[in-house]
Structure 1
Amino acid sequence: MHRGQFAGVQFCEGRAPQTVITADEPDCHLSFAICVQTRGRAMLQSNGDVYPLHGGEALLITPFAQLQWNAADQHAECIIASGGPVFSLRFRPHRRHAIRLGEDDPVGLLLTDCIRRMKDFVPASDSTIVQKMGEVLADLIEVALDEAAEATSDQIFLSSLQRIEELLDSPAFDVNTLAAELGMTLRSLQKRFYQFDTTPREWMAQRRLERTRRKLDDPLLASRSIKQIAFDCGFRDFSHFSRSFKSAFGLSPRAYRP
């Protein structure tokens, strides 16, 4: 196992069968580690979790007390970059992350390539250049963490919307009620929907139209009138519903129904 260190970042080349990285003090957590699997297959253990790795894959973990890399075949090799307390404030150590850096992710590609090159370039470089490279690496890691946090937040938000969708059948369920159900202010809710190029009101109208369309397709509801189905899905004005339905699906509700 070969180790090198600069600007608070430690580089480690791991080869079969095992590589272990641990903090110097028992209660100290390293701020981050990026494991780049250069060859073969391996299993990475950290924070009580196990992550499989294949050649070409990379994993970013933050923070951790100990990292254990175990080769899964005799050809397995990796490069691990890890950083100590000097990075802790930037990477918010109270939040745990384990992020796969995919080949289709620009930030992941930059991080992986940066680590591969820095491992060999840094020892012979000027200290000023080394310091700047360390800052670039830290910036890339922070971007990756922010993107992961944003993606997770989006998933939670979208899951919450799916849960709430059933409540749209009530005509009294409006934008203010939606904000209250999500535990958000109306302004925050509007900003959230703006990220998806829509508004809360537009989303609610679209989901109600989709629910109405599905019920019009349902043969078990063939005996129920179009007007009653529209009202069941939260519409109050049948004329407005008919115009909105035709605008959304290209046919009037009556022409659409089988």
Structure 2
Amino acid sequence: MTAPVVLSTDGLPEKETAPAWHDWMAQLFSGLDTDLYGDTRFDGNICVAYAGDVMLTKLEAGRHRVVRDSHRPRESEAAYLKIVAPWEGQAQVQQNGQQASVSSGNWVIYDTSQPYEVANPFHTEHLIMMVPKQSIAERGLRLDGLMGRNVGGSAGMARIALQTMRSTYQELDNMTAPLARRAGELLVDMVYLSLQAMSGQVTAVTQKQALYDRICAYVAGHVRDPGLSVDQVADALNCSKRHLHNAFAGRELSLGAFIQQSRLELCMRELHAPALAHRTITEIAMGCGFGNSAHFSRAFKAYAGRSPSEYRALQL
């Protein structure tokens, strides 16, 4: 089997940890841009291994976000379906208008050939798997609408796939190259069957997960509305607030906290954008749904660890 690639900020001078992480993300994952929430010190460890054409990465890191912008991929750049399956922490994925949040016991999938963003607002320990897109697409499964989705992991084929991903990664060191390649082919089969199930060709997504996905999509589409609230979401989706809260039961954030975090994440993106440097911080905050600048400043500093002006100056 190909020797794993191991990268770590351990032992690096403090001022070099953040630049090193930026470089590693860009090299390993086709030019990804990284945002460290304004932190200048960063702790992270990456171990990359291969099961044939399938790339498996264990990532342990502080809070960070990665962004693939709208640039077109190079002709020589292969397209992958990328999976994030947290052991600890949380990942929030946005792609094609879809927004999904996953924690331990679930996995999310997205397409690396399309723009996307993954936010990791807490310390994380993730298993990341990359499967050649062609290996799934050539089987006739329509991928439209399946990307940027929480596939699940608590039951059915999604749970079997999650268990197989984890056990394969843990046993790769003991596999010969032919056996590792065969294990990679099995992982492709597991991903295909999970997506087939999610598409409704085998079974439907659970009602709770379906409602959660609808809520996330609504929040993503209306996050700039200062009137966005639990009540508004309930009215728009024609369900009770109790059902909304049930959909978020067992997750790290309540719906109200999720709405505020979505607004803060949008503000961070816009404060980071050179094209919006002419806009004041207050204009950006109001445009992202905040109705009170003092409340925004307190919430932003609590979330990002810096004031909005400090964060903007550091990013720009």
TM-score after normalising by structure 2 = 0.41
User: Which one has a bigger Cα radius of gyration?
Assistant: 1
- Give the TM-score normalised by the residue count of structure 1: 0.49
